[in-house]
Every structure is written in C-alpha cells, then in structure tokens.
Amino acid sequence: AGHLVLPLIYDDLNETDYAWQGWWRVRRGGGYGYLDGQTGRETIPPRYADTRLPVGDLVWVKQNGRWGAIDRS
C-alpha cells in the first residue's frame, strides 16, 4: 500500500529534474506534459514540444516553435 502504479503509456517519466510541487514531467509520443505524482492524473497533457521548470504558478511550455505559460492555479 502507498505506492503509485501508473499505466505503461509514457515513454519517459522524470520525477527528479523536472519535479515541481508534486508534479512530474512525462513524455509520450514525442510530447511533454505533467502529471500529479500523488494521484497519477495528467495535469498538463503531454502534447508540447518542450517544457521548462515552472516558476510560481506558471508552467512554461513550447508549442509550434513558441513559448507560452499555463497558469496552474
């Protein structure tokens, strides 16, 4: 008990370098996003070309060659 079990749908899961307040960065099919490390629920779908470490409540994502921010609050 107490272990999170995720389905084998992710190509990569990074719970250290890109971890932020319980969120883990994931990669699936070439896209990056985040999931909640406690529940396993995708918080930001893995459809972005790249992500950066969040700053405050902003999660930085790259799509179509442009950077933008998603407000996590």
pLDDT at site 1: 52
Q: What is the DSSP letter of 58?
A: E
pLDDT in tens, the chain (73 residues): 566 666 678 877 777 776 777 888 899 999 999 988 888 889 999 999 999 888 888 999 999 999 999 998 7
pLDDT at site 40: 83
In sequence order, what are the beta bridge partners of 50? 62
Contacts of 56 (CB under 8 A, 6+ apart): none
pTM of the model: 0.80
CB distance 47 to 27 below 8 Å: no
CB distance 24 to 13 below 8 Å: yes
- Extract long-range pairs of 32-38: CB within 8 Å, 24+ residues apart: 32/61, 34/59, 35/6, 37/4, 38/4
